[in-house]
Amino acid sequence: MTNTGDSQQRKGGRLQVVLAAIAVLVLFLVVPPLINVGRYKGQITGLISRSLGRPVHLSSVEVRLLPWPGFVLTDLSVAEDPAYGAEPVLHANTVTASIRLLSLWRGRLEIDKIGVDEASLNLVRATPGHWNLEPLFNSAAAAQAGASLASGSSPGARLPYLVGTNSRINIKDGPEKLPFSLINTDFSLWRESSGEWRIRLRGQPARTDVSLHQEETGEVRVEAAMRRAASLHQMPVRLDLQWRKAQLGQLARLVTGSDPGWRGDMTGNLHMEGTADAAQVRLQLRAVGVHRAEFIPPQSLDFDANCGFAYSYVQRSLDNLSCDSPLGDGHIHIEGDKFAAGATPRISAALDRVPVAAGLGLLHALRNGLDPSLEAKGDLSGSLVYAAAPLPAPAKPARKYVDPLPQGNILTGSLTVQNFSLSGGGLSRSVEAAKIVFAPAVAAPGAPQALAGTLAIPADGASPLAVAVRFSLAGYAVSVRGQAGIARAREFAHAAAIPGTAPLDSLAGDPIAFDLAAEGPWLPPAGIAPATSTAADVITGTVVLRNANWKSDALANHVLIDQATLHFEPAGLRWDPVIFSYGPVKGTAALLLPASSPTSASAPQPCMPQLQLHFASLDAAALQTALLGAREKGTMLSTLIDRFHPASAPPWPRIDGTITADTLVLGPVTLRGASAAVRLTPTGAEIGSIDAGLLGGSVHLTGSLNRPSTDRDTPSYSFAGQLQKINPAAFGALLGLRWSGSPLNGTGKIEMAGYSSKDLAASAKGTLHLESGRGAIAAAKLPAKSLPAAMARFDSFSADAAIANGSVTLGQNQFNTGANQQSIAVSVTIADPPSVSFPAVKSIPDQR
């Protein structure tokens, strides 16, 4: 009987549970449609508005009973305080608001939790020390104070538990939205206890105006606790911030807008306690695997710095700074105070056996171009203090004059490098110094404080190179004076990546004299590409060569240099003057290599080098001998021909040039005051103009030179130009004639190809037009009877000649004498000297 009763009792209990579940299900299905949602929309809007202290707008409200009773809000927008801007402080398309059930028993509706997804939150800084969230916390504090009053007398609504997922936090400076933001952010804000709030945040730093590898900007995590106070500045805050997994290149691009070429991983941890007026901060920065993107050094630059200081956000001041960091087998300790606007800071740094290799690693990380195989040894120790200079002591009555102490900020102390050695980087032997002392240098008015040291480097010259180094927090300055052998100078130039020193690779001769100075910032200006990150450096001074010879791949022989001076200037490199000889050809040259600059739409091509060549006297035959050498196969001629062929010759450099010669001898013809404007291209040369005095008159030509396109081709030339006021006596003497009368004028064009004079003459094709006024032609070297009678005296002369088959043949020509016109066949062989022949004379009847 007992078992039967217990069984029936259990069945009745299960039935009651089932009936209760059915009742609850019916309640969830039937009740929501009966609820007046419109009635609660206004209450919910008012509740959120009072909680946040800002006007709130939403489009619609839906009831949600599972998994917890609440509401689904659509298009929620929290208005901004007009003092901080017009854009909403918070906007979310969909919001869930959970109800605090206990409040319903008291006949009130309270929001327990608000959840937003893919929301947009604006943090606005209006004036120094004031943010748009300050009124929010003030309103929340007032609401919490009101919640402690008796029921029904609460002036406000308690701040709900706020949760955001997949959201974006934007940062604004007044009405201007900055490019910095946090994306993919999860955050929460809740009340931990009476008068205390907690904040938790996780997000990815982003920047909207540059392209970033978002996964490499790291992740920021924040844990914060705040207690109620009269103002935001007085709120006690405990903050822990961690920024981890940040790649240095993307971190620099995030902060500065450009990637300086650094690589490595950075982690930062910050702990703060106090208020915005007075906060105690501990900061740890750790970097691992720091190097440049171009190479990975054998030992990367790692550091782990720990700092503590007191900070006032309102006064923008930092005090009681103390930083420690191990570096290799050494240690760095830094202390500082009075970092604030208008104040003179005091900073001290103590270094104990810091490896010089760490400094070289830092230089590798900051600057590109240095040879990655350079290695440095030695230890750096010492201490420095930067502080305000003491006031001058009062003058003693017994002295008439008292030297005042230095005014302004001064740097004291020194740093000493022991057992310094620099090797690798192509250096045949290392640079060594037992001791180098860096002491404060006298700073010019307005110049930053700096440390200076000197070093003497034997470099195969008459005396060692004197190197003076000066560096400050902003940048460096180095001067080099003395002599160095060419091989040693080549090694130094390559190791230091000095621009414009490629000619050293093909140079031999006496030691080079250096008088150079270089200066620049440690970091290039923002926006400069890594490849041009040395564009901020400035090198000035001169390098002088004497008794040297230089070999170019484009030339068959060496160029002997009596003297050449290379000027380093802000505009570029300038070789001026260069006194040289090439075989029997002697001349002077000046070459300007403009500083490289990025191209743009307005200047698609960078400035080309500018070359000037001058010859006092130039003989084309001597030049041909120098260029072509002997004419037997397998000698210098074939070598030069090989350099013209595309398969064996490097492309010609792009150069704009001007070539001048006081006299230029072209076989039987001498040009005076010759000047040519030439532009070299990889495939040939464009001759903009050739102007010269010729046979008592002048000649003006334009033309081009085309390099062979295949191994079977030869270089080709084309010219067009004018002859003006040619002296007839000089012109006749060239042809073996006595010609008197009016000057000659003419126009013509010619094309030819080949390497030798014979080939050029045989391939020449073109036309020539000549005309002259009254004149007379008589035989000079030819028998008198060999000249046509019409040439003895004429009133005018004009002729059109064809150039072909190694000669110039007059076609249509007229010798006019009174009413008589006569055409005379004339043929001039292109040779040195030219030969003239006169076939049978053809008379033209009088047409008058």
Beta pairing class for 90-99 and 111-117? antiparallel
Q: Which pLDDT tens digit goes with each residue over 740-760?
A: 999 999 999 999 887 777 788
108-130 exposure pattern, b = at least 16 Cβ within 10 A, e = fewer: ebbbbbbbbeebbbbbbebeebb
pLDDT at 583: 79
Identify the domain boundary among 235, 270, 293: 235
580 domain residue, yes or no: no
User: Could you give the C-alpha distances from 697 to 162, 356, 664, in angstroms and in order?
Assistant: 96, 71, 15
Strand partners, 717: 705, 752
Question: Region 410-430: what's the mean pLDDT?
Answer: 90
The reply to whether 747 falls in a domain is: yes
pLDDT of the residue at 252: 84
334 vs 818 pLDDT, higher one: 334
Report the range out of 105-109, 238-242, 831-835 with the highest average pLDDT.
238-242
**Which of these ranges, 98-107, 265-274, 434-443, has the smallest mean pLDDT?**
98-107
d(CA 599, CA 82): 46
- Please check the confidence at residue 210 and state whether its pLDDT lies above 70: yes
Query: Average pLDDT of 813-833?
Result: 85
- What per-residue confidence (pLDDT) applies to 705? 86
Q: What is the pLDDT of residue 608?
A: 85
Note the pLDDT tens digit of each residue in 758-813. 788 888 999 999 999 999 988 876 565 567 888 889 999 999 999 998 888 888 88
Residues 733 and 816 both lie in one domain: yes
Same domain, 834 and 771: yes
Predicted local confidence at residue 831, as pLDDT: 78
**Is the pLDDT reported for residue 226 higher than 80?**
yes
Per-residue pLDDT at 500: 64
- Cβ proximity of 627 and 637 under 8 Å: no
Q: Write down the pLDDT at residue 19.
A: 57
- The per-residue pLDDT for range 607-637, each reduced to its tens digit, is 789 999 999 998 876 776 665 443 333 344 4
- Cβ neighbours for 56, distance < 8 A, ≥ 6 positions apart: 45, 48, 49, 76, 77, 78, 79
231 and 289 inside one domain:
no
Same-domain status, 33 and 121: yes
Mean pLDDT of 591-614: 70
Mean pLDDT, residues 547-565 taken together: 83
What's the pLDDT at 31? 46
pLDDT at 751: 94
Indicate the helix (H) or strand (E) that contains 146. helix 133-147
Q: What is the mean pLDDT of residues 408-437?
A: 89
Alpha-carbon gap, residue 169 to 79, rounded angstroms: 16
Has residue 91 been placed in a domain? yes
**Geometric angle at alpha carbon 442, from 439 and 447, rounded to 5°:** 115
Please report the pLDDT score of residue 149 as a whole number: 41
| pLDDT tens-place string over residues 468-522 | 999 888 888 999 999 999 999 888 888 877 766 777 778 888 999 999 998 888 7
- Note down the domain range covering 123: 28-235
With 0.85 as the threshold, say if the pTM is over it.
Answer: no
pLDDT at residue 335, rounded to an integer: 94
Identify the pLDDT of residue 407. 45
**Domain contains 504:** no
Looking at 380, 413, 446, the residue that finishes a domain is 413
What distance in Å separates the CA atoms of residue 831 and residue 762, rounded to the nearest whole number? 10
Same domain, yes or no, for 81 and 129? yes
Does residue 229 sit in the same domain as residue 285? no
Residue 200 predicted with pLDDT over 90: yes
**Spatial CA neighbour of 719 closest among 758, 697, 692:** 692
Within-domain flag for 334: yes
**Can you give the pLDDT at residue 758?**
79
Per residue in 57-78, pLDDT (tens digit) is 888 887 776 666 777 888 888 8
> How confident is the model over 43-53, as a mean pLDDT?
75
What is the pLDDT confidence band of residue 160, given thresholds at 50, 70 and 90? Answer: confident
CA distances from 351 to 118, 411, 419 (A): 50, 16, 16
| Residue of higher predicted confidence among 205 and 100 | 205
User: Average model confidence (pLDDT) for the chain?
Assistant: 79
Q: What is the pLDDT of residue 846?
A: 43
Q: What is the dihedral of CA 9, 12, 17, 23, to 10 degrees?
A: -150
Q: Which of 242-246, 274-278, 415-419, 710-714 has the lowest average pLDDT?
A: 710-714
Query: Which pLDDT band holds residue 360 (cuts at 50, 70, 90)?
Result: confident
Asked if 226 and 336 sit in the same domain, the reply is no
My answer on whether 737 and 825 are in the same domain is yes
User: Would you say the C-alpha torsion 437, 443, 448, 454 has a positive or negative sign?
Assistant: negative
Q: Are the CB atoms for 580 and 587 separated by under 8 Å?
A: yes
Residue 384 pLDDT level (bands cut at 50, 70, 90): very high
| 52 in the same domain as 192 | yes
281 within domain boundaries: yes
pLDDT at 534: 46
Q: Which residues of 551-574 are buried (b: 16+ CB within 10 A; e: fewer)?
A: eeeeebbbbbbeebbbebeeebbb
Task: Tell me: pLDDT of 529 over 50.
Answer: no
Residue 548: which of 505, 612, 493 has the closest Cα? 505
pLDDT at 684: 83
Give the pLDDT confidence of 708-729 residue by residue, as tens digits.
776 667 788 899 999 999 999 9
pLDDT(604) > 50: no
Q: Is the pLDDT of residue 156 over 80?
A: no
Instruction: Please state, for a pLDDT cut of 90, what percent of the chain lies above it.
Output: 31
Residue where one domain finishes, among candidates 413, 428, 449 = 413
Q: For 524, which DSSP code?
A: P
Range with the largest mean pLDDT of 15-19, 268-272, 459-463, 635-639: 268-272
| Residue 600, pLDDT above cutoff 50 | no
The pLDDT assigned to 613 comes to 93
Any domain includes 210: yes
Give per-residue burial for 521-533: e unless 16+ CB within 10 Å, then b: eebbeeebebeeb
Overall domain count for the chain: 3
Q: Which two tokens stand for residue 190?
A: 């809740």
- Say yes or no: 138 and 220 in one domain: yes
pLDDT band at 405 (very low <50, low <70, confident <90, very high): very low
Same domain membership, residue 275 and residue 175: no
So what's the pLDDT on residue 556?
A: 63
| 789 within domain boundaries | yes
pLDDT digits (tens, 9 = 90+) for 630-688: 333 334 444 454 555 555 556 777 899 999 999 988 878 899 999 999 998 888 889 99
72: Cα separation from own chain's centroid: 52
Q: Please check whether residues 272 and 305 belong to one and the same domain.
A: yes
